[in-house]
A = this chain, B = another copy of it.
Amino acid sequence: MADTLISVDLSESPHTNENVHNRWHPDIPINVWVEPGDDFKIETYDWTGGQIKNDDDASDVRDVELEQVHYLSGPIGVKGAAPGDLLVVEILDIGAVEEMNWGFNGFFSKNNGGGFLTDHFPAAQKSIWDFDGMFTKSRHVPGVKYAGLIHPGLIGCLPDRKMLDMWNTRETKLFNTDPERVPPLAALPNTQSAHMGAMKGDAREKAAMEGARTVPPREHGGNCDIKDLSRGCKIYFPVYVDGAGLSMGDLHFSQGDGEITFCGAIEMAGWLHLKVEVIKDGMAKYGVKNPIFKPSPIKPVYDDYLIFEGISVDEAGEQHYLDVHVAYRQACLNAIEYLKKFGYTGAQAYSILGTAPVQGHISGVVDIPNACATLWLPNDIFEWDMMPNANGPTKYLDGSVDMPIAYDL
Contact at A185–B369, with CB atoms within 8 Å?
A: yes
Contacting residues of chain A (262-300) with chain B, CB-CB under 8 angstroms: 262, 264, 273, 275, 277, 279-282, 285-300
Contact at A171–B390, with CB atoms within 8 Å?
A: no
Contact at A319–B170, with CB atoms within 8 Å?
A: yes
B226, B279, B337: the one within 8 Å of A389 (CB): B279
Please indicate the chain B residues that have their CB under 8 angstroms from the CB of A86 in the complex: 388
Closest B residue to A362 using CB positions: B360
Please indicate the chain B residues that have their CB under 8 angstroms from the CB of A296 in the complex: 147
Stretch at the interface among A25-33, A51-59, A128-136, A199-207: A128-136
Stretch at the interface among A11-19, A73-81, A119-127, A322-330: A322-330
User: Could you give, for residues 294-314 of chain A, a 1 whenever the CB lies within 8 Å of some chain B CB and a 0 otherwise?
Assistant: 111111111111111111010
Q: How far is the CB of A109 from chain B (nearest CB, A)?
A: 14
Q: How many residues of A contact B (CB 8 A)?
A: 127
Alpha-carbon distance A171/B297, docked complex (angstroms):
42
Using known A-B contacts A93-B133, A301-B297, A370-B216, determine if residue A363 contacts B226 with beta carbons closer than 8 Å: yes
Contact at B317–A170, with CB atoms within 8 Å?
A: yes
What copy number does this chain have within its complex? 4
Please indicate the chain B residues that have their CB under 8 angstroms from the CB of A362 in the complex: 257-258, 324, 328, 360-362, 373
Alpha-carbon distance A91/B133, docked complex (angstroms):
8
B173, B325, B361: the one within 8 Å of A323 (CB): B325
Q: How far is the CB of A50 from chain B (nearest CB, A)?
A: 18
Q: How far is the CB of A11 from chain B (nearest CB, A)?
A: 16
Contact at B321–A174, with CB atoms within 8 Å?
A: yes
The answer to the question of A39 belonging to the interface, with a C-beta cut-off of 8 Å to chain B, is: yes
Besides A259-B366, A298-B298, A299-B301, 20 new A-B residue pairs in contact (Cβ under 8 A), listed by A number = A1-B101, A86-B388, A133-B231, A185-B321, A187-B368, A216-B367, A217-B364, A221-B309, A258-B364, A259-B364, A280-B390, A285-B392, A287-B337, A287-B340, A288-B334, A290-B308, A293-B306, A293-B307, A303-B303, A328-B362
What are 6 A-B contacts defined by CB distance under 8 Å? A170-B318, A175-B369, A221-B309, A226-B307, A304-B304, A328-B362
